[in-house]
Amino acid sequence: MTMPLNSPLHPESALGLAPRFGLIIVGDEILSGKRSDKHLPKVIELLGARGLQLDYAHYVGDDPARITQTLKRGFESGDVIFSTGGIGATPDDHTRQCAAKALGVDLSLHPEAQALILERMQDIAREKKEPYEPTRTDNAHRLNMGLFPAGAHIIPNPYNKIPGFFCASFAGGAGVDMRADGPPLGTNAHSGGRELHSVSERGGIYFVPGFPVMAWPMIEWVLETKYSQWFVQDAWMEQSVIVFGAMEATLTPLMEDIERIHAVKVFSLPSVDHPEYGRHIELGVKGAPDAVAIAFAALRAGLQTFLLRLGPELVRR
């Protein structure tokens, strides 16, 4: 169903041309099953708490070519994308290098990142009661974590001060915004004739560590700092009912009628082995709260004609 821009379901309606949000999760350890991904449900939660939603997610292993290809598509999309993992300085960390390659720029030591990493070195030396030796081989190597694509900006890390970074998108191609917090820029030599937008105006990729204890507060910082203008309270809700003894095909005409008449989206989630309800269908509607209330009442009334046994109702915001 094609929705008009003024529909409560359209992602740009309540949010004032809000960006699409994506997630890239990098790491062989996720794809091999050595670690379970915790980022996807958390990012959905962080966005949902602000009236936003995740539009897609990609899982990528540690292959540099695939990471570069995925990031290039992300920059070209103009979406707001969070990328987790691979920004360390060990041989299996490729995300920083791949980001630079996707953007067509060099890596360079970011001065703010350098200062924060040196500060972290001092903290470690103080905690261990050792002398501060920034030129020691292991400490010098730590500075590689501050090598970011030229023109990138940092994301503060409240856990251990080692920052992440972000780069903005071009309209019509990837690129780095040298003034990511400023107003949209016009075309210039740096952009190769392409229109360059600020991060908050268009989109970009935000690179954070794979560790949840670091990544999640950094993602929250991005949302609160860059995208608060699109936060909407109570803009979206779901209301559903557990239906027993029905087939989806039987209920489809009712679902189509609800979507055609009301400005909501209908969903049907069948289950054959639910630990509490057994075989059932969770049937419901989602959209703006006022529209959901009316549409769900119509859905319940329509279900009565089938003489079905109904279970509990569920509400999610």
pLDDT at 317: 76
Q: What's the CATH number of domain 21-230, 3.90.1650.10, 2.60.120.10, 3.40.980.10, 3.40.640.10?
A: 3.40.980.10
pLDDT at 185: 29
pLDDT at 193: 35
> What are the tens digits of pLDDT across the range 180-226?
343 332 333 333 333 434 444 568 999 999 999 999 999 999 999 99
pTM here is: 0.73
Q: How far apart are the C-alpha atoms of 102 and 26, rounded to whole Å? A: 15
**Quick one: pLDDT band at residue 48, thresholds 50, 70, 90?**
confident
Backbone angles phi, psi at 250, to 5 degrees: -70, -35
Could you tell me the two tokens for 228?
């608060």
What single letter denotes the amino acid at residue 312? P
Q: How far apart are the C-alpha atoms of 68 and 208, rounded to whole Å? A: 16
> Do 5 and 12 meet the contact criterion of CB atoms below 8 Å apart?
yes
pLDDT at 13: 38
> What are the tens digits of pLDDT across the range 230-252?
888 666 789 999 999 999 999 99
Percent over 90 (pLDDT), the chain? 73
pLDDT at 175: 42
pLDDT at 191: 35
CATH number of 237-316: 3.30.70.600
pLDDT exceeds cutoff 90 at 85: yes
SS3 assignment for 217-241: HHHHHHHHHHCHHHCCCCCCEEEEE
3-class DSSP state of 168: strand
| Helix and strand totals (H; E) in the chain | 9, 14
- Per-residue burial over 132-157, b if 16 or more Cβ lie within 10 Å, else e, is eeeeeeebeebbebbbbbebbbbbeb
> What are the tens digits of pLDDT across the range 143-191?
999 999 999 999 999 999 999 999 987 544 444 433 334 333 233 333 3
pLDDT exceeds cutoff 50 at 25: yes
- Average pLDDT value for residue range 38-54: 92
**Quick one: pLDDT band at residue 15, thresholds 50, 70, 90?**
very low
> Do 266 and 258 meet the contact criterion of CB atoms below 8 Å apart?
yes
pLDDT exceeds cutoff 60 at 277: yes
Q: Of how many residues is the chain composed?
A: 317
The mean predicted confidence, pLDDT, of the chain is 85
SS3 assignment for 94-111: CHHHHHHHHHCCCEEECH
Domains 21-230 and 237-316 share a fold: no
**Quick one: pLDDT band at residue 91, thresholds 50, 70, 90?**
very high
What single letter denotes the amino acid at residue 252? T
Annotated domain spans of the chain: 21-230, 237-316
> What are the tens digits of pLDDT across the range 258-270?
999 998 999 999 9
pLDDT at 234: 65
3-class DSSP state of 210: coil
How far is residue 112 CA from its own chain's centroid? Answer: 25
pLDDT at 287: 87
> What are the tens digits of pLDDT across the range 289-316?
899 999 999 999 999 999 899 999 999 8
